[in-house]
């Protein structure tokens, strides 16, 4: 996690030297920054079952997302003030505010990561040290894949997760584009909307954590998908900035809850193991494939039809498929619970009968 964090943060800081003429520099360090971010999150997520018992996974996952949203908002507001009002800080170079933003992200990232590294337990799992580490990593993913295939519940959950993330991440990545191209909204509306989504996401993560404690993770996720479907249906009828802001509020509310619940539910479903990292690597790969598939589908449908509304309808389809997989999973879990209860009752009756015969 340290290696990926340093790669991501330092690469982001080196974008300070990007000036628009050295395009290769920008592409290289943007790519490295993205690799560092994605790689570090795999290990970050894998610590959840290490630092908490299963009954606390939902609340701690929600708190992690809440703190992430809060940190993102604080730094974003600071950088927006510098970018929008450079004269307040005596800045005359039009490129300098953006460059300062890259440096601030680097310092912020490394600073808070240092606190994380100091407090987390020295949790390690020894993988194969011989051979190419990249190929060894793929071998670990293959081992997880074999275990996933053997577990009907885990397999169905990951399929539901894949379609859920196809919908959620496409909405997150394409919301601003939809507002700009389909509704003609300007940055003066879109930037505050992004801030609203982040802040409301904190509340949503907490609310869905409490909901899952009452009705269970699967049912809470099903409710979140239902809300996503209604949000997408509402988007089809939005024609102005007010409607877009209202929809964005509900997106933020359910976004934080869906993501935090999806992570904590997976952490509860993985089998007994000390190799949590490999399972969360598989989880992250599934999410990345969902991101690519979702955004590609959104773009190709818009290109073929000439309207983003048809892309939104496709997103509704993703959510419906994810919901159906969760329905199958829930019935399977109920069936397993009832079967185990019946088997337990039969064993108890037999034991009492045997005890009676002995007496």
DSSP 95: T
CB atoms within 10 A of CB 181: 13
136 token code pair: 């060894």
- Quote the pTM value: 0.81
The reported pLDDT for the residue numbered 329 is: 92
The reported pLDDT for the residue numbered 312 is: 93
Cα–Cα distances in angstroms (integers) from residue 212 to residues 122, 260, 313, 319, in the given order:
30, 11, 28, 19
Sorted by sequence, the CB contacts under 8 Å of residue 46 that are 6+ apart come out as 276, 277, 279, 280, 281
Q: What is the C-alpha separation between 48 and 41, in angstroms, rounded?
A: 11
CB atoms within 10 A of CB 163: 23
The closest of 12, 2, 3, 14 to 115, measured between CA atoms, is 2
Sorted by sequence, the CB contacts under 8 Å of residue 190 that are 6+ apart come out as 176, 179, 180
The reported pLDDT for the residue numbered 316 is: 95
254 token code pair: 């359910």
Q: What is the C-alpha separation between 225 and 216, in angstroms, rounded?
A: 15
The reported pLDDT for the residue numbered 355 is: 59
- Identify whether the C-beta of residue 169 lies closer than 8 Å to the C-beta of residue 287: yes
Q: Where are the domains of the chain?
A: 1-119, 152-352
Q: What are phi and psi of 274, to 5 degrees?
A: -100, -5
Question: What sign has the CA pseudo-torsion 64, 65, 71, 74?
Answer: negative
Architecture of domain 152-352: Up-down Bundle (1.20)
State the first-to-last Cα distance of the chain, in angstroms, to the nearest integer. Answer: 62
3-state secondary structure of 47: coil
DSSP 88: G
- Identify whether the C-beta of residue 98 lies closer than 8 Å to the C-beta of residue 5: no
- Identify whether the C-beta of residue 26 lies closer than 8 Å to the C-beta of residue 53: no
Grouped pLDDT means (10 residues each) for the chain, 359 residues: 94 92 92 92 86 87 90 90 89 90 95 89 61 64 80 91 93 86 82 85 89 91 94 90 88 89 89 77 88 92 90 94 94 74 58 58
């Amino acid at each position: 996690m340290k290696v990926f964090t340093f790669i991501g943060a330092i690469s982001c800081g080196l974008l300070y030297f990007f000036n628009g003429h050295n395009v290769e520099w920008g592409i290289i360090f943007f790519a490295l920054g993205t690799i560092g971010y994605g790689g570090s999150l795999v290990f970050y997520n894998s610590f959840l079952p290490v630092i908490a018992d299963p009954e606390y996974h939902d609340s701690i996952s929600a708190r992690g997302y809440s703190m992430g949203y809060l940190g993102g908002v604080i730094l974003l507001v600071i950088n927006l003030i510098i970018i929008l009002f450079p004269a307040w800080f005596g800045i005359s170079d039009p490129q300098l505010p953006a460059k300062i933003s890259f440096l601030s992200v680097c310092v912020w990232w490394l600073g808070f990561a240092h606190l994380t590294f100091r407090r987390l337990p020295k949790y390690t799992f020894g993988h194969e040290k011989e051979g190419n580490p990249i190929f060894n990593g793929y071998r670990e993913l293959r081992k997880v894949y074999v275990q996933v295939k053997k577990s009907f519940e885990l397999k169905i959950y990951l399929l539901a997760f894949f379609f859920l993330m196809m919908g959620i991440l496409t909405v997150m990545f394409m919301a601003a584009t939809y507002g700009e191209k389909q509704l003609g909204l300007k940055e003066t509306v879109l930037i505050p909307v992004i801030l609203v989504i982040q802040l409301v996401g904190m509340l949503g993560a907490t609310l869905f954590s409490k909901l899952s404690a009452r009705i269970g993770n699967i049912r809470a996720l099903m409710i979140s998908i239902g809300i996503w479907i209604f949000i997408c249906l509402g988007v089809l009828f939005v024609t102005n900035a007010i409607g877009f802001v209202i929809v964005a509020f509900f997106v933020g509310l359910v976004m934080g809850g869906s993501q935090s619940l999806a992570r904590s539910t997976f952490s509860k479903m993985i089998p007994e193991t000390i190799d949590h990292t490999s399972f969360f690597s598989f989880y992250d790969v599934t999410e990345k494939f969902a991101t690519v598939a979702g955004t590609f589908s959104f773009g190709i449908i818009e290109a073929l039809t000439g309207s983003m509304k048809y892309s939104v309808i496709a997103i509704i389809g993703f959510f419906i498929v994810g919901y159906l997989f969760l329905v199958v999973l829930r019935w399977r879990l109920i069936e397993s619970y009832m079967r185990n209860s019946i088997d337990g009752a039969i064993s108890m009756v037999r034991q009492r009968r045997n005890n009676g015969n002995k007496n």
